[in-house]
Amino acid sequence: MNAERVHIGVDLGTSSLKVVAIGPDGAVCACARGDYPTARPEPLAAEQNPQDWWAALAATLNEVAATVPAEHWSGIGLSAMLPTLVALDARGAPSGPAITWEDGRAEPEAELLRAEVGDERLYQLTGQRVDGRYLAPMHRRLDRRGQGGVLAAAAKDVLYAELTGELLTDPSTAAGTGVFDLDRYAWDPELMVAAEVPGLPAVAPSDTIAPLSAHWRAALGVTAEVPVVLGAADSVLGAFAIGARTHGDVAVIAGTSAVVLGISDHAVRDTRSRYLITPLAGAGWGLEMDVLAVGSAFGGVARLLGLSGPAELLDAAGTVALGDAPIFLPYLTPGEQGALWDPELSGTLHGLDLSMGAGHVGRALLTGVVVELRRAIAIAETATGRRGPVLLGGGAAASPLLWQDLADATDRDVLVDRASRDHSAIGAALFAAQALGRPINHAPQLHRVTPRPAQAAWWQRTSNRHDSLRIALGGVEL
């Protein structure tokens, strides 16, 4: 390995910070992970301490540097969860805990913004269906409690500032505020006033570069300048890493949530506003639908059932036939931002009886998640006019049961990367190399799973049953 061409990817995720080092041959030559807690001090709350992020950042960077010395790092690329708010005071310090995308407390503030601007106009301007998980409503809620500071920044914005001393945001991250004009690539002054946002970071291209700060160079024991590339949202760079780069490609990146991203040459608004429009790190757009509770749902239900974790739950699910499980509406966050856009949805388990065990619940949950992924993938196909394989990656995509279910439900081949899980971090490293003029050929080791045609009708009937139950419980009819 030519150590002088190692590129580092950093992904600030929902439950952990991941760092990878990519060599010139495209192989991952070092990786590290640092976990941090999420505080839930009241219903719907999800808060994190940015100091926990920086502790994890220091630990993981040093762990990677122990394998690949930092003096051989050619550049660092960044990715992060979205939307996650860090309100900053006049000194540029956080005015309180970070509010993550799992936090649902700002829905009243989102309703105010939608009422003032109008749902359709908001979607046409921003390409987003703005709810309480966007930065602008989140900040408005904090500001009314005297905790809003003077500037609303996203997680990756402050990550870039921590490493370089410069506070900037990229277009994909800016889209998560709810006040970014998608066509002008700029903050919309009218929306900022309507949302009562006092200030936002300057928007810069994803390939913007600044040097690693003297503090971090000293901490890593490096004297030479190390460029840091601004990067993009985790969904964008996760899809980039797994190979979804041309019009019509569809990637599913399954982590705490699951992002379905259809790649499009055009920022085509959906007539029914079923998908979000996210700028890619380079040319093009992501038609995005986020199934909110995936890895978090498997983990939470496993804990509830006294199991060791998602792997044990999915192993148990594999012992239960498809038709023997109850119905599980998997809206456990609560709410949904997939092809359904409804913050009022909640998780429901229907049809449970005393003959059933943990495997039945796990089988039902997996089926419910796949039903929502199926819905989103079909909409991406309609929007792009192309039907190809589904590219599947992410930390929650480790189960062969999920792979086969997704292939059967969509009647498509599923190409899953069995070798890697940290796709957003890998994408950050690959994009950094490209931005620095040293593109790396990273070919993920994709395993093909083919659909079983006999299962297609079952999945259609099951999807209909899920929709009927959701509508009976007050969900919006499609």
pLDDT in tens, 366-406: 999 999 999 999 999 999 999 999 999 988 899 999 999 99
pLDDT in tens, 277-324: 999 999 999 999 999 999 999 999 999 999 999 999 999 999 999 999
Is pLDDT at 1 greater than 70 in this prediction?
no
Asked if residue 357 is part of any domain, the answer here is no
* pLDDT classification of 343: cutoffs 50, 70, 90: confident
Asked if residue 126 is part of any domain, the answer here is yes
Asked if residue 464 is part of any domain, the answer here is no
Asked if residue 23 is part of any domain, the answer here is yes
What pLDDT sits at residue 475? Answer: 86
The mean predicted confidence, pLDDT, of the chain is 95
Is pLDDT at 2 greater than 50 in this prediction?
no
Asked if residue 119 is part of any domain, the answer here is yes
Is pLDDT at 348 greater than 50 in this prediction?
yes
pLDDT in tens, 14-36: 999 999 999 999 999 999 999 99
What pLDDT sits at residue 4? Answer: 59
Specify the CATH number for the domain of residue 147: 3.30.420.40
Asked if residue 387 is part of any domain, the answer here is no
Asked if residue 87 is part of any domain, the answer here is yes
For residue 102, what are the domain limits? 3-235
Number of independent structural domains in the chain:
1
Nearest to 235 by CA among 450, 367, 427: 427
Asked if residue 284 is part of any domain, the answer here is no
pLDDT in tens, 233-265: 999 999 999 999 999 999 999 988 999 999 999
Query: In whole angstroms, what is the distance from residue 363 CA to residue 389 CA?
Result: 24
pLDDT in tens, 426-475: 999 999 999 999 999 888 889 999 999 999 999 999 999 999 999 999 98
Is pLDDT at 3 greater than 70 in this prediction?
no
What pLDDT sits at residue 63? Answer: 98
